[in-house]
Structures are given as structure tokens and as C-alpha cells.
Amino acid sequence: MNKRDCYEVLGVPQNAPPEDIKRAYRKLALKYHPDRNPGDDEAEENFKEAAEAYSILIDPQKRSLYDQYGHQGLRGEGFSGFNSTVFSDFEDILGDFFNFGFGDIFGNRSRRRSDYPNRGRDLVLELDISLEEAAFGVEKELKLNRAEHCSVCEGAKMKPGTSKSQCSQCQGKGQVRYQQGFFAIARTCSRCGGSGEIITTPCENCRGSGKTKIKKSLKINVPPGVDNGMKLRVEGEGEAGDKEAARGDLYVVMSVRKHKYFERENENLFCQVNISFPKAAIGTQVEIPTLEGTEILNIPSGIQPGEVLRMKGKGIKNVNNHRKGDLYVKVDVATPKNLSKEQQNLLRKFAESRGEFLDRVEKNIISKVKNIFH
């Protein structure tokens, strides 16, 4: 049976660089891999054909011979088609996608999964703080309940003085081999987890887990400027990992309580002050609470309801660059209620002095309102 052209199999031009050849092969391999197409003989053959084409075109010497003489030229050099020995770099191409590398498939992995100790689990804790604590920073004591190495077996998981036994299922190899299509698949042993050994006498204190829960107090420094939802990473304060493995980290999530006076947006603060109509008309000074104490704010004469005044540098420090935000004060003018007759007459005289007559119908108001809709 005549073999298809390698460039045609991979769908690349004859001058394709190695990067394009790898990319094309990876696409086909993922599509036709036997694990994705169990029992599909056609997919298995397509995968085998793509693998053979890749092994030829990725090798400069074989590719040169193939370009000159085709498949016949390769036979003269002893190449007889698909062979598991040509896949030394396939694990780099597909290993991250599947649960096993090509070393698993052909049974020649240099390291077993159990050779890599598991890092400790990360912990996440929510910390409730006030706006003042978020603004200026604070030291807080945390209470943790985390996994630590067992004090009896020191993380070994077995009773002191005992040793592990060879796994009877994999005969100490850590892998169990079986045939899948044209592959000889090697899977991690389900009984020993790939270690090749089993614990026959587990530690009674930790029940063979190697870890026990321990209550711990920990002090942390919350930096100035943190905001709601920010995460503070405390390296190495998570749970213990396997013996000789690194600890996990602790992530502290900030939960900043709402303040009585202030609203916060990034580094800026917002508040509102109410003043009377005469003070708004004439101008005044008011005491404004800030996070650093009270400050005097000058209200200019003629200020309108809803106008906002800025108090520069009275906000919160940025947690990264330490620049301070501002405090924005919204001025609300309170309309007086339940005026006495004397007060009403005084206001009428004031209005008449400005050419306003309160008892007259303001005819031009309707036209002003209409203009809003046109």
C-alpha cells in the first residue's frame, strides 16, 4: 500500500519551518489520539500516520532524504515506519494535555509520580477590619486550624519502627501496563499511587495520613491602603506538605467594614455635609471629620445644593505607591420647615429686595421645563 505524502498528512507546505510542523502535528495528535477515540481503528491509523510523518519531517537528515527520494529513500537508511523510539520529544508536545506523557505510553519514564512530593495546601482566611485600620495599617492576630506533620511519625505515615512493603499489584514498579491499540500503556498503580510500596502498619496517631490538625496563632501586618477584597499572601504559612515538600501559603482576604461617615472609592473618600440656606448664601466654615481628625472646610458664598468640594490629601494611601487620595465633600442645603410668621415676612422682604414676588405665579417656569425635553 502506497503511503501518503508526509507534507500532505500534516497539511503543511514543503518549505514549512519546524515550528509549523510541530504545531500541525500537535493539532492532529490531539484530534486522533486513542484516548479521545476509544475503539476507533480509523482514528488510531490516522494518529499513527501523523506520528510517522512528524518523525520524518522534524529530523533534518530524514527530511532531506525524504525530499530527494521519498519513502523509498528512507527505507534504504533503515527507517521502516512508525516506531516508538522516535518519540523522545513527543512528551514535550502532548504531555501537558493528557494525564500521561509518552514515557507512560512506551513505559520508559525516568521518574514516577510518587517521586515528586506534594506541596502543602494553601489556606484562605477572611479578615474583618475597619476603614481606619485599612487606611493606616494594623497588626492582627489570626487563629488557624491547619494540617501539620504528625508529631509521632514525623510525616512518614507509618508506625515508627516499621517499614514499607513492596506493592503486590505492580510488583514494586509503580505502574501497571496494558495494551491499548498499538500502544503499550503504562498507568500509575491505583493501589500504591505510583510509589511501588505500601504501608502495612500505618501510624495510629495520624491514621496513616502523616498529618494532624493543629491550632495556631499567627500575627500578620496589614499594610496601609488595603481595600475590600484584596488578598495578602503570607508565604509558607499554609498547611504542611508531604515529607521534604514545601509548605503551602496563607492568603488573607480583606473585608473592610462600612464606615459611619465615609464612602470609599480606591484611594478617595466621600462624605456629605448639611448646611442651612443662610450659610449657603453667605458662606461659612464647617468642621469636617477626617480619618486623621477634624478639619475646617471653607464653604464659599452662593454654593448650590449638590456641589462637591475637595480636601486634597485627606484620603487614603495607595497600597502600592503610597500616594494619598482626596476627601470629597458633597454640600447639601437644608430647606427650613415650620417657619414662623415673622420668619416668613423676613424671607418675603428678602425676595422682594431681589425683585422676586412670592405671591405671583412664575409664568416662565413652564417654558424652562419644556426646554428640557426639546
Q: List domains and CATH numbers for the chain.
A: 6-109 (1.10.287.110), 263-337 (2.60.260.20), 341-374 (no CATH)
CA-based nearest residue to 50, from 21, 29, 77: 29
**Distance (Å) of CA 172 to CA 30, 146, 169, 196:** 32, 33, 8, 4
What's the confidence (pLDDT) of residue 24?
93
Place of cell 461617615: 261
Residue 247 contacts residue 235 (beta carbons within 8 Å) = no
Tens digit of pLDDT per residue, the chain (374 long)? 578 899 999 999 999 999 999 999 999 988 888 777 877 889 888 988 999 999 899 988 889 888 888 877 776 555 555 544 344 344 445 544 444 444 444 444 444 444 567 889 999 999 999 999 999 999 999 999 999 999 999 999 999 999 999 999 999 888 888 665 555 677 788 888 888 999 999 999 999 989 999 999 999 999 999 999 999 999 999 999 988 889 999 999 999 999 999 999 999 999 999 999 899 999 999 999 999 999 999 999 999 999 999 999 999 999 988 899 999 999 999 888 888 999 888 888 888 888 877 666 655 554 444 444 44
Residue 25 contacts residue 46 (beta carbons within 8 Å) = no
Which residues does 30 contact at the CB level (< 8 Å), separation at least 6? 36, 94, 97
pTM attached to this predicted model: 0.58
CA-based nearest residue to 197, from 154, 176, 157, 168: 168
> Angle at the Cα of 364 (from 358 to 368), degrees rounded to 5?
120
Residue 265 contacts residue 145 (beta carbons within 8 Å) = no
